[in-house]
Amino acid sequence: MRKLLAIVILLATVLACNQPRTGKPSGRDGVQGAGTAVRDTVYPLGFCTEDFRELSGSIRSGDSFTTWVTRLGLPREQAFRLVQACDTVFDVRKLRAGNSWKAFYKDSTLLQYIVYDNSKIRQTIFRCTDSLAVWRYDKPVQTLEKKADVTITSSLWNDMTAAGASPELISALSDIYAWTVDFFGLRKGDRFRLLYSETLCEGEPVGLGAIRYAEFQRDSTVLPAIYFDQGDGGNKYWNQKGESLRKAFLKAPLKFTRISSGYSLHRLHPVHGVVRPHTGVDYAAPSGTPVMAIGDGTVLSAGFGSGGAGKMVKIRHNSVYTTAYLHLSRYAVKAGDRVSQGQVIGYVGMTGTATGPHLDFRVWKNGSPVNPLTLESPPSEPMLPENLPALDSVRIVLQKQLDYE
């Protein structure tokens, strides 16, 4: 009796894969294209892939949509009709070179379906039979809560990637601490601990969620970053006192480069070979690297500076602070422009007196040069007082999660 039941179930399954079904599949955004027939709806792509011969490849450079599908075997007249069937489901102008695809054929040569990978998650399915149709399918994703604990031994990038961190996580961490931690001056023994979420699809990471809690430790100093959204569209990261991690000035005007020469009033000049004052910080970086304003302000000048400064942008931030960005290859602003914190104001170069491409960054306080690396930046608006108890509760819970092995 059990064997007979198993045979019946098997026959029903085979018939299901070979018979068209109607209706819209769950979890898929579909639009019926040209023709009146309703598309197949066998999960997950809408047809039984096992019934067809499969061919795979990737979009070639210079391919248009019609060039691509006709090469796969769709007659040109039907290719134009398929473009119309795409409607709002798929923008044929956004076909990307390098993206993968699979084509499915009946009787080895008759094209039936094309599956295009928009991304690691989303796919677009094109039915290439007489009843042309186009729909989308999003693969199931999983969100995992993860931890990272990294002690600096060589560099932030090397140590975090060695610990399994993605480039997106490193970038997000540096954005959170951009106002409080000098990532170009990290020391051996500095430590980062964090709680964050990561999205996986078919076991592979496809996206980074929010960093919910982080700590930067140097010796006995601990700088927490607590995620707390007040709902006002403003800052979302705070320390344990409810002070915003966002401040008036960024710690550095570049991302992911290295400091080649630190602040010194008596530096042996690399070109002239004599001791001259150097009241800034040199950041070695490839030519063309974007240079950012460290704070809001007004551009005082954008032109050649004196004394070998080359192309230079000078910004007045308020009545106290002024900054300058030297040896640029080109400008992105002009005198009189208002700029905002993080806005690109120029690009790294080696104009003026320079042995290689780098940025010479300088700061003046009340007209006197100061060390950019020790610049004290005033914080932004603190957290609303009524939210402080909730912030403390969140901090305690997240810190326990981080400490829990």
User: 33: pLDDT confidence band, cut at 50, 70 and 90?
Assistant: very low
Write out the residue limits of the CATH 3.10.450.350 domain(s) in the chain.
Answer: 22-138, 142-238
Tell me what the mean pLDDT of segment 43-59 comes to. 90
Pinpoint the alpha helices (H) of 91-204: 156-162, 167-176
d(CA 397, CA 399): 6
Residue 5 pLDDT: 44
* Digit-coded pLDDT (tens) for 299-339: 999 999 888 889 999 999 998 899 999 999 999 999 999 99
Residue 171 pLDDT: 86
Q: Which token pair is 62?
A: 């210079």
Residues 95, 130: contact at Cβ < 8 Å?
A: no
Least confidently predicted of 10-14, 84-88, 117-121, 369-373:
10-14
Higher-pLDDT residue of 177, 262:
177
Return phi, psi of residue 216, to 5°: -110, 125
Burial of 265 (0-12, 13-18, 19+ CB in 10 A): exposed
248 Cβ contact list (under 8 Å, min separation 6): 295, 296, 317, 341, 377, 378, 379, 380
Residue 256 pLDDT: 60
User: 373: pLDDT confidence band, cut at 50, 70 and 90?
Assistant: confident
Mean pLDDT computed over every residue of the chain = 84
Residue 43 pLDDT: 63
Q: Which token pair is 309?
A: 């400064």
Tell me what the mean pLDDT of segment 160-187 comes to. 87
The answer on pLDDT for 297 being more than 80 is: yes
Report CA-CA distances (Å) from 365 to 95, 186, 190, 197, 318: 52, 25, 29, 41, 10
DSSP state of 349: B
Write out the residue limits of the CATH 2.70.70.10 domain(s) in the chain.
Answer: 258-374
Residue 278 pLDDT: 52
Q: Please name the CATH architecture into which domain 258-374 falls.
A: Distorted Sandwich (2.70)
Nearest to 390 by CA among 176, 217, 229, 191: 229
Pinpoint the alpha helices (H) of 165-323: 167-176
Residue 184 pLDDT: 81
Least confidently predicted of 141-150, 229-238, 255-264, 278-287:
255-264
The answer on pLDDT for 267 being more than 90 is: no
In this structure, whether the domain defined by 22-138 belongs to CATH 3.10.450.350 is answered with yes
Residue 279 pLDDT: 67
Residue 13 pLDDT: 42
Give the distance, in angstroms, between the CA of residue 378 and the centroid of all CA atoms in the same chain: 28
Report CA-CA distances (Å) from 115 to 21, 84, 85, 215, 355: 19, 17, 15, 44, 53
The answer on pLDDT for 50 being more than 70 is: yes
* Digit-coded pLDDT (tens) for 155-172: 888 898 898 888 889 888
Tell me what the mean pLDDT of segment 269-288 comes to. 64
Torsion of CA 300, 301, 302, 308, to 10 degrees: -130
* Digit-coded pLDDT (tens) for 70-121: 999 999 999 999 999 998 999 999 999 999 999 999 987 899 999 999 999 9
Return the SS3 of 224: strand
142-238 fold: Nuclear Transport Factor 2; Chain: A, (3.10.450)
Burial of 144 (0-12, 13-18, 19+ CB in 10 A): exposed
Residue 206 pLDDT: 87
